[in-house]
A = this chain, B = another copy of it.
Amino acid sequence: MIVKKLAIVGAGLIGGSFALALKQAGAVGEVLGVGRNPASLDAAIGRGLIDRVADWAAAGQADCIFLAMPVGDTESVLSALLPHLKPGAIITDAGSTKGNVIAAARAVLTTRFNDFVPGHPIAGSEQSGPLAARADLYEGKKVVLTPEPDTRADALATVQALWVAAGSQVETLDAALHDRIFAAVSHLPHLAAFALVDELAGRADSDTFFRFAASGFRDFTRIAGSSPEMWRDIAMANRPALLTEIDAYLGALQAMRQAVAEKDAEALLDMFLRARAARENWMKTQDV
């Protein structure tokens, strides 16, 4: 057993899957659940994700508190938790952006900030909620931790051990680099998928178009089925890096437009060949 008492804030897909994996691995004793939605918490108990519902006072007595609610709520959750936080309790999170979470945690936790281990599991689904939770969600997936210079080494070690017990590969990155990387490989593609569907949906004759959309469209836009609220928060939280990536993408699309407009078949083929080769190389390194 790595921690006796774990509290998860947000008993949905991310929090619930973490709890389930750790329970199955025997890495945790009791699991408490904190959340705003009683129906969700009931479902989490029903599915065995959490043992009981807790308030902030009870959650603060846990050995480790896992934040798995929308990143936009980090500040308010930490503010509610801080007065009840027992000495030595570790806090970690699963937010998709790290710079803003670290800033919020530093501002609220002040002298207790060194007990906070910023984290981001690279796993998920366009589904959400306790019913979507799975013990194997993190199996073989990367988890990025972005400790700060003042993060307690033993807190970091405990959080690493929990993720390893959940089946993950743990990596550490500088938070700013993390945010740049995920703006490019995750946040921008989500916005690009939402933009494509929204543009099409806004047409008066959109039915005519959707009627003939097929599997390529389905896969390209799968991530446009993701939680709008979560992605709004992520886009707001990672604005500077995301703007850089949107601009890079707009530039790439403009270059492609130019090749099409100028009938430059060779330039177009070069882009397509480079893209396919890069994707094939990437796929070889992946187990996704």
Contact = CB atoms under 8 A, between A and B. Distances in A.
Contacts of A25: none
Contact of A195 (B212, B228, B271): B271
Q: How many copies of the chain does the oligomer comprise? A: 2
A196 interface: yes
Residue among A123, A209, A214, A268 facing the most chain B CB atoms (10 A cut-off): A214
Interface string A233-262: 001100100110011111111111100110
A196 B239 contact: no
Contacts of A211: 285
B279 A197 contact: yes
A276 B224 CA distance: 6
A181 B203 CA distance: 12
A132 to B, nearest CB: 14
A128 B187 CA distance: 31
Contacts of A216: 124, 186, 189-190, 222-223
A134 to B, nearest CB: 14
B272 A232 contact: yes
A202 B275 CA distance: 9
14 contacts: A141-B214, A177-B208, A189-B221, A194-B276, A198-B274, A202-B274, A211-B285, A213-B286, A218-B286, A219-B220, A229-B269, A239-B260, A239-B261, A239-B263
